[in-house]
A and B are shown apart, each in its own frame.
Chain A
Amino acid sequence: MFPFTRKAIVAVGREGLAFLDTLGCAVQYSGEIVRFILAGQFNFRHFLQQLAFVGIDTLGISLIMTTFSGMVIALQIAKEMVKQGAGDYVGALVSMALIRELAPIMTAFAVIAMAGSAYAAELSTMQITSQVSALRVLHVSPVRYLLMPRVLAGIVALPLMNIITAIAGILGGLVVSHLLADISVNHYLDSVWQQTQPKDVWAMLFKSAVFGFIVFIMSTTIGINASGGSREVGLATTRAVVWSFVLMAIMDYVLTYMIYGAHS
């Protein structure tokens, strides 16, 4: 029993140290990205390529996830609220849940699963096949060439995707509310319109930009620091997904507390 416990503690400690090491590298790379932007060393074509990859490839799955999230919320609350005479607030509740929390989270989940994992696998493969070293020998910084366009694409793509996915989720809630609780389309949309505050929308956009940054700086940092063989590609991909989830959950709480305080 004791050797097993010891091994588990050592494994957790090692993973914790690796996490802190990656965080340190991510901070360093972020600084380098800012330096490259300020120096005007920014390749717009690379940025657009990554923006298209993140946006187009992950929008479909994000839409499915947020649309069903809106439908599930409506399914759980619509009938009960109509019974309680609060049917006018169903749209507001659905939109509030989506805009404040579910749309940014669900979109980020989809992006982690599709683009974050793909980046970690791609960059770790490039690292273990010496392609990253080749970049250095060709005097092109891997941070500038590989990380910067991907991280900036994440920061820009996620808020744009969030606008679309939040609307899709609200419309999903509308369909369920109308079909199952007989709430009229006008009542639902009025409720959404009246209760949605500009602050909520700005907060959603800000949150999703931060999530985009976290997902892509973590995925690319883990990928570019991979070493060893093909097993490491799998490990890097798993780490990128898990650590992005963990950091995103922590940042979600911190940002929500900062924006809405403890009594929202």
Chain B
Amino acid sequence: MADSQALQPTKERNQEVLIQVQDVSKSFGDNQVLKTISFEVRAHETLGIIGISGCGKSTLLRIISNLETADTGEVNLSDPNYSLVFQYSALFDSLTVLENVAFSLLEEPDAEYAKALQQSQHKFRKYSMKEIKAIVSEKLRMVGLEGIEDQYPNELSGGMKKRVSFARAIVSNPRIILYDEPTAGLDPIASTLIEDYIMKLRDELNAASVVVTHQFSTINRTDRIILLHEGEIKWSGTPHELYNSDDPFARQFSHASLEGPMTMEQG
């Protein structure tokens, strides 16, 4: 029953909008990288953001995660508890796996965030070391890693680092998870494993996910896609529609063609 429910179209499962991006624009000097971008992501939905390199995908993700500020427009996250999985994991190399995963449980958050949490359904509280170890073990088990709590990031493979960064991202059970090129540089089997985790987290946390990616295998697992080019949304639809669309942007991207409106110089 649970499996068949997970396959149903997103809107039938849940209408709750968790991420709302409204008319967001961003320039760096004279270079306008985003032009009035708007979209929504609902609970239990995975949105893929695709486009050629330099089209503004990562900047958009950084704006959603509050690492950059938009010049105009706004981003509304329905929950202050969100997380971002970085392209190269971004684990703290001076900390063990346990300390990395448990970071947001061990460290006191900024006052503004703590206040926002108080006002939402979440509460920041101090955990005992025993509780923290139990939570970390559970999260590591979720991503298929156990017994590596005392290792340092430089002792792990690229795929393991990525999975540890997944565990760190979900330790506080966020309902908004952002992924920046989650499968870049991984072999096909490791990529499938990571894509499975993205789906698993979406199902278990009823989360809204935004995945920036170039990988077709990852694109195929999303519910909806937007294609960015020169800072604008040129096309949007489902993965199935991407491969069958006559739109020149969608067609060029899905066929990985050099012929079409997108050129690397423009990107």
**A interface residues, Cβ below 8 angstroms from B:** 39, 41, 43, 126, 129-131, 133-134, 136-141, 144-145
Q: B104 near A138 (CB under 8 angstroms)?
A: yes
Shortest CB distance B163–A (Å):
16
Given contacts A136-B67, A137-B67, contact A131 B92 (CB under 8 A): yes
Q: Find out whether the CB atom of A139 lies under 8 angstroms from the CB atom of B113.
A: yes
- Which residues from A are CB-within-8-Å of B91? 131, 134
Which residue of A is nearest B178, CB measured?
A137
Query: How does the 8 Å CB contact mask read for B161-200 relative to A, with 1 for contact and 0 for none?
Result: 0000000100000000000000000000000000000000
- Evaluate contact between B84 and A137: CB separation under 8 angstroms: yes
Given A41-B111, A130-B86, A139:B104 Cβ within 8 A: yes
Q: A126-B92, A139-B104, A140-B108 are in contact. List 18 more A-B contacts (CB 8 A).
A: A39-B111, A41-B108, A41-B111, A129-B93, A130-B90, A131-B90, A131-B91, A133-B86, A133-B90, A134-B92, A136-B67, A137-B65, A137-B66, A137-B82, A138-B104, A138-B107, A139-B109, A140-B104
Q: Return A96 CB to nearest CB of chain B, in Å.
A: 42
Report if B204 contacts A (CB, 8 A). Answer: no
Min distance, Cβ B207 to any Cβ of chain A, angstroms: 15
Looking at the assembled complex, report how far the CB atom of A237 sits from the nearest CB atom of chain B, in whole angstroms. 17
Within the assembled complex, what's the spacing in Å between the Cα atoms of A130 and B88? Answer: 8
Q: Which of B65, B82, B103, B107 has the most CB of A within 10 A?
A: B107
Assess the A138–B103 pair: CB atoms within 8 A.
yes
> Which residues in B have some Cβ–Cβ distance to A below 8 Å?
62, 65-67, 82-84, 86-88, 90-93, 103-104, 107-111, 113, 168
Residues of B within 8 A of A136 (CB): 66-67
* In contact, B90 and A129 (Cβ under 8 angstroms): yes
Tell me the minimal C-beta distance from B62 to chain A in angstroms: 8
Neighbouring A residues of B103 by C-beta, 8 Å? 138, 140
A141 to chain B: which residues have CB within 8 Å? 110
Q: Are B107 and A140 in contact (CB under 8 A)?
A: yes
Considering the chains assembled together, what is the distance between the CA atoms of A136 and B67 in angstroms?
7
A134 and B108 contacting across the interface, CB-CB below 8 Å: no
The list of the 7 closest CB pairs from A to B, nearest first, reads: A139-B113, A130-B90, A134-B90, A139-B109, A137-B84, A130-B86, A138-B104
Q: Closest CB of chain A to B248's CB: distance in Å?
A: 34
| B111 adjacent to A134 (CB under 8 Å) | no
Q: What B residues does A145 contact at CB under 8 A?
A: 107
Judging by beta carbons under 8 Å apart, are A137 and B111 in contact? no
CB atoms of A144 and B90 under 8 A apart: no
6 chain-A/chain-B pairs, Cβ below 8 angstroms: A43-B107, A131-B92, A134-B86, A136-B67, A138-B109, A140-B108
Q: How many angstroms from the CA of A138 to the CA of B109 in the assembled complex?
A: 8
- Which residue of chain B lies nearest to A132 when distances are taken between CB atoms in the complex? B90
Residue of B nearest to A39 (CB): B111
